[in-house]
Amino acid sequence: MTVADTDLTRASATELAALIRNRAVTASEVTESALARVGALDDRLHAFVERTDDLARSTAAAVDAAVERGDEVGPLAGVPIAIKDLIATAGIPTRNGSPAYESWVPEDDDVVVERVRAAGAVILGKTTVPEFGYSGVGHNPISPAARNPWNPELTPGGSSAGSGIAVATGMAPMALGSDGGGSVRIPASLCGLVGFKASMGRVPLYPGCRDERFPGVSSWETIEHIGPMTRTTADAALLMSVIAGPDPRDRHSLPAGDVDWLGCVSEQAVASAVAGLRIGYTPDFGYMPVDPEVRGVVDAAVGAFGELGATVVEVDAHIDDPQPHFWPIVMADSDLVGMRRLVEEYGVRMSPHLVELVRHPWSAEEFSDAQMARKRLVNQMWKLMNGIDLLITPTLAVPAFPIGTQGPELIDGRMVDQGRWLGFLSMFNLTGQPAMSVPAGFTAGGLPVGLQIVGPHLGDAAVLRAAAAFEEARPWTSRWPEVVHGG
């Protein structure tokens, strides 16, 4: 398979938006390039479960007409975007990777979809997810398994699996993902991207996990986040500038105005982003097994922050392992009664690990113990962050692994449960802190490795500035998967 290189599919969203506004290229030309890339690669990689070619072309034509008239257009006018299939899209099927929703076409957009449409973005389609997002990998019972563009025999991660593939291959310069336990940051790490989970409440959620009418969909109530997946930090800031801000339908949403998203990635902001900061680094939180090659890549990358003028210290984190308490919190956050009805009707076709979770005889004691553990974690993390400005960890304990499992059972010579590789992530969903995965480098076998930058509660600007400074010091956008070149 050969995919011809084109400047348009390699351009960033920020660059494309400017080119379209300045009439250097039309939105229709950009859209046709994106659709051609999807057509060339998606049968192999399975990024999309629903393509919206006609909608994309009509949106692009409307943008071109507005530009031709001299109208003021939105900040994403003509920029292609992929939407995770857990995010509701009015008039477009939203299957959630589940047989229970195979024919569901929402009547309403999620808030973030309302906002990207209003900003002029061109929706290319809906992207592959595991069933209801209850997994860190990219396969579900109703569509082909998503494949990592760096090695199609391996997982791209999940649950924003298809979104990661789309951005990593230039099908779209940006995508919307959701992150209830790492689901933006996992594919960002495994596919070599930027993935940002902002502070809880920065990006409003509705209907999604706030709508009680849809069991399975209405999950992750107190830990879900929606965020950007992009190839550059500037593009992440651009998308955040569109989707962030309060909405009265989400009681958790935060007031706008304290973060200048685009200002965070300005040349002036980046130049002094980390100088003088005290940055903590933990390679393992004292209990996490980590693949030695991953640790080596991240150890080397962390040095960039010292070169930029920060004081980097390895911290003794004193953080209890939250992983045993994660699923009780998820299930307490979800419509467990409604999901059990779905299992009764569709269980033989549903994902076995999800059915097992739903059928587990959860007790009040399990839920209560998990909530107390969450409170301890919040307090422990506050004490840790009180002595540093930012925290850096590996994003994941391993690089990409073969499709067909939920995770490796052996890490650095230690037998582990299949979720252990995700141990750096869900704690920041439980605390609500901002966390961003950025590319740190590659293994000897050419697989991406991510580095996670974490800020204190509401410290989103500091995270974004530090990520932009790291990108400038260790640029990554020139390297593309071989499949893009015809491998």
Active site residues: 84, 159, 183
Residue 266 burial (C-beta neighbours within 10 Å; 0-12, 13-18, 19+): middle
- Indicate the pairing of strand 174-178 with strand 80-84: parallel
What is residue 402's DSSP assignment? B
* 246 close to 27: Cβ distance less than 8 angstroms: no
- The gap from C-alpha 55 to its chain's centroid, in whole angstroms, comes to 24
CA terminus-to-terminus distance, the chain: 7
What is residue 99's DSSP assignment? G
The phi and psi torsions of 199 (rounded to 5 degrees) equal: -55, 145
Q: How far apart are CA 125 and CA 103, in angstroms?
A: 16
Residue with tokens 């640790």: 295
The pair of three-digit structure tokens given for residue 92, joined into one six-digit string? 């477009």
What is residue 25's DSSP assignment? S
* 61 close to 194: Cβ distance less than 8 angstroms: no
Q: How far apart are CA 138 and CA 47, in angstroms?
A: 9
SS3 content of the chain, % helix, strand, coil (to 5): 40, 15, 45
* 179 close to 158: Cβ distance less than 8 angstroms: no
Q: How far apart are CA 466 and CA 463, in angstroms?
A: 5
Residue 347 burial (C-beta neighbours within 10 Å; 0-12, 13-18, 19+): middle
Q: How far apart are CA 473 and CA 101, in angstroms?
A: 45
* 199 close to 434: Cβ distance less than 8 angstroms: yes
446 Ramachandran zone, left/alpha/beta (phi>0; psi -120 to 50): left
